[in-house]
Structure 1
Amino acid sequence: MRVYYIKDRSIIYILTAIICLVIIFIGVKIISNLQSEETTQKTVDVVEVFTGNKENSIVIDESEDNIEYQSIEEPNFFMMVLGKSNAFIRSIYNEKYKNSDLLSRLKQTYMIDLEIDQKILKTQLPAIVSMTNFDNVKLGNRLSIANRSSNKANSYEELETFNELEVESGYSPLGNIAFVDDKYEEAIPTSAAGISRDEAMKAIESMAKPKAISVESNKPYVMIYHTHATEAYAPVSGARSEDKKYNVVGIGDMISEELNKRGHEVNHVENYHDQPSYTGSYGRSLSTIKSQLKKEKNLKVLIDVHRDGVASDASYYDKAKKESVIEIDGKRVATFFMVVGNDTPNRDKIVQFSNYIKTVSDMLYPGLCRKPVMKPYGKFNQYMSDYTLLIEVGSNLNTIEETRETAKLIGEVLDIALRGITQ
């Protein structure tokens, strides 16, 4: 008996591959024939795409000889192999990727774009959804808004991603954000009566606080301004208003007035930086800051007054509504909090200043100031001074009356806090 040896084993590998392809071809043919025999009932077959994502599949609807399929996200090796052996699968593959060149495939594979649908945005990023009426936001691999215009206003690196969405065609103010109704919930009373002004002044002498700043008392050293000046309170409909009787500009007036009558020189800038459009608001407010600092070197404390927005279908809506107002001396008062941008280079100084303001507020009116919020992205122009505050005074869940009460108390808190660090 003779035994034959094949020296070139590559022939075996080739034959094995051919056999495997033939088996696959036969299997596909058998499945196809089985499907064609079931002509009396509607069938929906799903050809899984082997990417690990069950949502990436081709759906074939053969009812009434009408073939429909769901687009898959990227080319797949197994689809290409099957496409070589079956004309039907090849036609689907070509339909999806006939216009996909090598560069676009590389971009899809390696640039990793992030798709966030509106439902996620509503629950996790209400500030964005409140400004938009689109279905999807596409963020590039650097987490910056895709397709920004080349307009110089958008070239400021300080423009924010999650706080200020760049929308070239305008925006739908606050979308489905709900305002308070006539049936008020019971306000949360303060946890303690708080201490007196004199006691607070004495307490901050020995407490840890920001580095003292030297100012000329006869010149403005505090600047109050509004990046989003049209943010308004109930009963205004539409959530935005240019009437300062109902928006944050009016609240800034009251804070400024409270500080002035306590001996602090304040420059209140009433520019509407979110006009003519919301896009570029931070770029415009940055220009104002630089202009004012150039005119008055004594300006050290920069306060950007905002109004928070909570979407009606946000997962934390009920909690936010409950915490939106407290009762002080028998009056309903809106709560407030500070925001810090994680990307600002002087973040630690801003955090320290914000915590200092909260500490003073807690001594006087426990519960009035909520915990400062660190945004995951953004600078919010806070690098222009180590004594910068972005204050969210109330929200769309508050009335203008509740917020006016807050403005008076914020003026008192700032008076004591600033006296503790100025010389």
Structure 2
Amino acid sequence: MNRQKKSNYIILVLVCLIMLNTGTILIKTYYSREDKEIFNNVEKRKISSQWLIPILGRTSSIISFYQNQDYNERFNLKDIIKEKIYSISSLDFLKKEDNNDKEMLEEDNEENDELHTTVLEDQVIIDRLDEYESLIIVKDSEGKSSVESIPEPLNIKKMKINKEKPYILLYHTHGTEAYLPIKDSQYHTTEKKYNVVTIGEIMTKILEANGHKVDHVEIYHDLPSYNKSYSRSLNTVNKKMEEEKNLKVFLDVHRDGIGDDANYRERALSKAKTKINGVDVATFSIVVGPDSPNKEQVLSFAKYIKAVSDTLYPNLCTGIIIKPKGKYNQFVSDYSALIEVGSNLNTIEEASESAKLIGEILTLVLDSIRE
């Protein structure tokens, strides 16, 4: 009898071991398939191969945490992992989370993602302005543009400001965005002479030289947490508005980002710069978030900037980009503009030349819309 019981126990244990091993194989197969999905998503987000090892390391811990959840909850594991991957896919020096910034806007990650993952099929690019086409006189009798040919603003209210106080806030949500020759850390650096802060500084000098009062904020809002850049820059904007009620114009200066393996890289290279007065100049674009309640006013402001640019320097502004979603903090004012000066395909010299011209363009724009 005892011998029979022992045999039964042994058989039961063997069955359990077989079931356990089978289950383990099935789980590994399932998550192996998920890891392949992750690799595909990483590729789509233009993250270079150097990020794959830390990403998979973090992914395994995420998987182990969710293995104990209900099946219906774990069914959405892929989406959760995708979100986690993006949250750790920034620079080495941008990975650290900011534990004190708990009030981050829910849409911050979405806006950051949309801005730096160019999806040409989803975004709307306005490169022709029907409203201004009949008004723009590109060249005078000598073949040059003149100040007299600048079109009048359409659908834009005049600004009431105190001209003796700063009324322009120029800042950088992603201040570490860099230009060539910087290639390390996904084309980002805190070395000011190679990043967009220098571009903002040049634009500020041109505006101030033409009588406009500017407060240029040089804070790196993408440090230490890249994913919280927009909530951090919004905090800065709100504080500045509390300190100075005269602020009306908000210019968020960036540069575009083109992945090294992007399938549209050659096309982007062909539009990355233009020649003006014999000098290579980085092109620029203006980004509009469709989810701001004042989207139409922001779009009208962007259109006028492009109209003036097209009048003075044809081909300098490549267009107005309306993203699939996001606000980009543009709800703070109808005179908000997110300006992308060149991209990581441009040298700092090309971007600097562009900044000078954009400063001139903005000078004329603001001269036309302030009372």
In the superposition, the TM-score normalised over structure 2's length comes to 0.69
Deviations 1:267-294 (A, max 9, x none): 0011111122323111111110010000
Change (3 A) 1:229 1:147: closer
Equivalent residue letter for 1:417: V
* Secondary structure of the structure 2 residue equivalent to 1:391: strand
Larger RCO of the pair (alpha carbons < 8 Å, separation 6+): 2
**SS where residue 279 of structure 1 aligns?**
helix
The structure with the larger Rg is 1
Aligned to 1:23: none
Corresponding position: 1:250 with 2:250: no
Look up the match of 1:32: none
Looking at structure 1, the residues matched to 213 and 50 of structure 2 have their Cα atoms a distance apart, in angstroms, of 35
Matched, 1:231 2:177: yes
Shift of 1:209: 3.8
**Aligned letter for 2:146?**
S
Select the residue among 247, 260, 277 that pairs with 1:299: 247
2:338 match: 390
1:413 and 2:361 matched = yes
Match for residue 195 of structure 1 among 145, 149, 160: 145
Render the CA deviation track for 1:46-98: whole Å, top value 9, x for unaligned. Answer: xxxxxxxxxxxxxxxxxxxxxxxxxxxxxxxxxxxxxxxxxx99x9689648x
The equivalences for 1:135-174 within 5 A come to 138-139=78-79, 151=99, 153-157=101-105, 159-164=107-112
Cα distance change of structure 1 residues 314 and 94 upon mapping to structure 2, 3 Å threshold: closer
Q: Residues 109 and 228 of structure 2 are in contact (CA less than 8 Å); yes or no, is this contact kept in structure 1?
A: no
Q: Deviations over 1:86-123 (max 9, x none)?
A: xx99x9689648xx9xxxxxxxxxxxx9x975545655
1:289 aligns with 2:233: no
234-243 or 280-289: bigger deviation: 234-243
The 3-state SS of whatever aligns with 1:245 is helix
Q: 1:279 to 1:217 in 2, by over 3 A?
A: same
State which of 262, 270, 273 in structure 2 corresponds to 1:322.
Answer: 270
* Overall identity of the aligned pairs, in %: 41
- In 1, Cα distance between equivalents of 2:194 and 2:262: 24
Gaps in structure 2 of 5+ consecutive residues: 1-17, 60-76, 88-96, 118-137
Matched, 1:331 2:279: yes
User: 1:159 offset after TM fit, Å?
Assistant: 4.6
Whether 2:287 is the aligned partner of 1:344: answer: no
Structure 1 residue aligned with 2:123: none
Which amino acid is 2:243 matched to? K
Determine helix, strand or coil for the equivalent of 2:202: helix
Asked whether the equivalents of residues 139 and 146 of structure 1 are also in contact (C-alpha less than 8 Å), the reply is: no
Ranges in structure 1 where 5+ consecutive residues have no aligned partner: 1-87, 101-112, 166-172, 175-190
* Cα distance change on mapping 1:118 and 1:262 into 2, 3 Å: farther
Aligned residues: 292
Name the CA distance, whole Å, in 2 between partners of 1:262 and 1:273. Answer: 28
Structure 1 counterpart SS, 2:275:
strand
Partner of 1:25: none
Question: Aligned residue for 1:210?
Answer: 156
Answer whether contact 1:159 1:280 (CA < 8 A) is retained. Answer: no
Deviation, 1:145, is 6.7
Query: Using a 3 Å threshold, how does the CA distance of structure 1 residues 145 and 221 change in structure 2: closer, same or farther?
Result: farther
Deviation at 1:245, TM superposition (A): 1.1
Q: Deviations over 1:29-58 (max 9, x none)?
A: xxxxxxxxxxxxxxxxxxxxxxxxxxxxxx
Larger fraction in helix: 2
How far apart, in 2, do the equivalents of 1:379 and 1:144 lie?
Answer: 20
Match of 1:263 in 2: 211
Query: Which AA in structure 1 matches 2:356?
Result: K
- Per-residue CA shift, 1:214-272, capped at 9, x if unaligned? 11100000010011111111112311221211110010000000000000000001111
Q: Distance in 1 between matches of 2:193 and 2:85?
A: 37
Structure 2 residue identity aligned to 1:356: Y
CA distance in 1, matches of 2:50, 2:168: 30
Residue pair 2:108, 2:228 contacting (<8 A) in 1 also? no
